[in-house]
Structure 1
Amino acid sequence: MSEFTVPGLSSADGSSVADILQERLSAYNDLHLTLKHVHWNVVGPNFIGVHEMIDPQVELVRGYADDVAERIAALGNSPKGTAGAIERDRTWDDYSVGRDDARAHLAALDLVYTGVITDSRTAIDSVGKIDPITEDMLIGQTAQLEKFQWFVRAHLENSGGSLVHEGASTEQDAANEARQN
């Protein structure tokens, strides 16, 4: 650990915020890889719409990872962007849907977004007490993630407001429900 951090934070507080950000970095790195996996493996009648909808999400999430990594460095810590770091920090299962139709992937991806957004909101709560600059960065990122989830859910919602995979607790269950409905 460095002897420095950003002005106004103690080294201990800087390190604490960096630890929280490391979890976000691993989540963002995993999410951008998952999004590319969906992009490469989506098939069916809605292929092109979903294929093209995913790429801007990938680019923004990659940018979030870069912003988070640079914030970790500014706080005096070393960001870890390796596959090993993702695996170590992971509290979620690896994305499990292979080549499949758009609705199946989107239903599974909805659960991925729910997990990332929930964890981001927890991180916002934790860093907000210590570092409003980091809090602000995470709030902006989370707002965009919520918008992406809305794009995904628009493909899965019926006119009554229910999702085709309502109640699914795993990606495979969500994909199966979407295929059947």
Structure 2
Amino acid sequence: MSFTTSWLGDKEARRVVEILQERLSALNDLHLTLKHIHWNVVGPNFIGVHEMIDPQVTLVRGYADTIAERIATLGGSPRGTAHAIETDRSWDDYSLGRDTAQAHLAALDVVYDGFISTQRAGITETEEIDPVTQDILIGQSAELEKFQWFVRAHLENAAGELTHAGQHTETGAADQAR
């Protein structure tokens, strides 16, 4: 890192940049996953889901920009390439192609579970090191959790039970939701 902030030491800045780089790759991957769903959803609820996804795509793309700019602010060099996504990821590639709205939404719920879990881990880890970064992650999490609520609203019955309850993989959730 050629430039570090005066308010963080080199070690702390490097750690925050590592956390943010993983978040940047996760956001870039989520953006691509959301667009993939947008293009591949079919069935009776097509238009509602198709149109529900676009605002999520726009917001996630903006979040990636915010994270990349924070990395630069801390003296790092944000990597926004496909290779960076592959290198930084600890998750599998999205596994559904053309499929029903219910299948995609159940799979997307699993994606959001993983994304939000790792986002919250970043929130916890940046609390002491850099509360400004933590604040960015918290703000993003609130909207992403709301989007997950939108997704789950399509998958719940009146008692609040999810069609894909107990499933922890995209394909398992999709199969159970169909």
TM-score after normalising by structure 2: 0.99
Q: Deviations over 1:110-151 (max 9, x none)?
A: 000000000000000001110010000000001111000000
**Alignment of 1:65 onto 2:58:** no
Q: Hey, what's the Cα distance between the residues in 2 that align with 1:94 and 1:123?
A: 21
Q: Which aligned runs of 4 or more in structure 1 are off by greater than 4 angstroms?
A: none
Unaligned 5+ runs, structure 2? none
Q: How does 1:28-43 map to 2 (within 5 A)?
A: 28-43=27-42
Instruction: Provide the aligned C-alpha RMSD in A.
Output: 0.6
**Which residue pairs with 1:162 in the alignment?**
161
**How many residues are matched?**
178
The residue identity in structure 1 corresponding to 2:67 is V
The residue identity in structure 2 corresponding to 1:84 is H
**Alignment of 1:116 onto 2:115:** yes
**SS of equivalent residue, structure 1 residue 71:** helix
The residue identity in structure 2 corresponding to 1:15 is R
**Alignment of 1:50 onto 2:49:** yes
Q: Deviations over 1:144-175 (max 9, x none)?
A: 11000000000000111110000012100100
**Alignment of 1:140 onto 2:139:** yes
Q: Hey, what's the Cα distance between the residues in 2 that align with 1:155 and 1:87?
A: 31
**Which residue pairs with 1:171 in the alignment?**
170
**SS of equivalent residue, structure 1 residue 128:** helix
Q: Hey, what's the Cα distance between the residues in 2 that align with 1:13 and 1:173?
A: 40
TM-score after normalising by structure 1: 0.97
Unaligned 5+ runs, structure 1? none
**Which residue pairs with 2:76 in the alignment?**
77
**SS of equivalent residue, structure 2 residue 75:** coil
Cα drift, residue 7 of structure 1: 3.0
**Which residue pairs with 2:98 in the alignment?**
99
